[in-house]
Amino acid sequence: MPAIRCAGLVKRYADVVAVAGVDLTVETGECFGLLGPNGAGKTTTIEILEGLTEPDSGDVEVLGMRWRDGPESRALRERLGIQLQETQLGDKLSVQETVRLFGSFYRSSHSVDEVLALVELEEKRRSWVGKLSGGQKQRLAVACALVSRPELLFLDEPTTGLDPQSRRQLWDVISRFRAAGGTVLLTTHYMEEAERLCDRVSSSGPRVS
Q: Which residues bind Mg ion (CB under 5 A)?
A: 42-43, 85
Any residues with CB less than 8 A from the CB of 173 and at least 6 apart, and which?
118, 119, 120, 139, 142, 146
Alpha-carbon separation of residue 77 from 42, 182, 205 (angstroms): 20, 15, 29
Q: Whose Cβ is closer to ligand ATP: residue 29's or residue 161's?
A: 161
Which of 16, 52, 65, 101 lies at the binding interface for ligand ATP (CB under 6 A)? Answer: 16
Examine residue 194 and tell whether it contacts ligand ATP (CB under 6 A): no
Determine, following the binding rule CB under 6 A, whether residue 58 of this chain makes contact with ligand ATP: no
- Of 54 and 86, nearer to Mg ion (C-beta) is 86
User: For residue 36, which of 14, 51, 48, 20 has the smallest C-alpha distance?
Assistant: 20
Closest to ligand ATP by CB, 16 vs 93, is: 16
Nearest to 84 by CA among 153, 182, 164, 180: 153
With CB under 6 A as the contact rule, the residue among 2, 39, 58, 135 that binds ligand ATP is 39
Can you give the C-alpha Rg of the chain in angstroms?
17
Closer residue to ligand ATP, CB minimum distance, 169 or 188: 188
Residues 65-124 that bind ligand ATP (CB under 6 A): 85
Q: If binding is defined by CB under 6 A, does position 18 make contact with ligand ATP?
A: yes
How many residues sit in the footprint of ligand ATP (CB under 6 A)?
12
* Euclidean distance between CA atoms 87 and 9, whole angstroms: 25
158 binds ligand ATP (CB under 6 A): no
Task: Return the H-helix or E-strand segment holding 186.
Answer: strand 183-188
Residue 36 touches ligand ATP, criterion: CB under 6 A:
yes
Q: Which of Mg ion, ligand ATP, none binds 188 (CB below 5-8 Å, type-dependent)?
A: none
Residue 87: count other Cβ atoms within 10 Å of its Cβ: 15
Work out whether 38 is an interface residue with ligand ATP (CB under 6 A). Answer: yes
- What is the four-CA torsion angle of 146, 148, 151, 157, rounded to 10 degrees? -30
- Residues lying near ligand ATP in the complex (CB under 6 A) are found at 13, 16, 18, 36, 38-44, 85
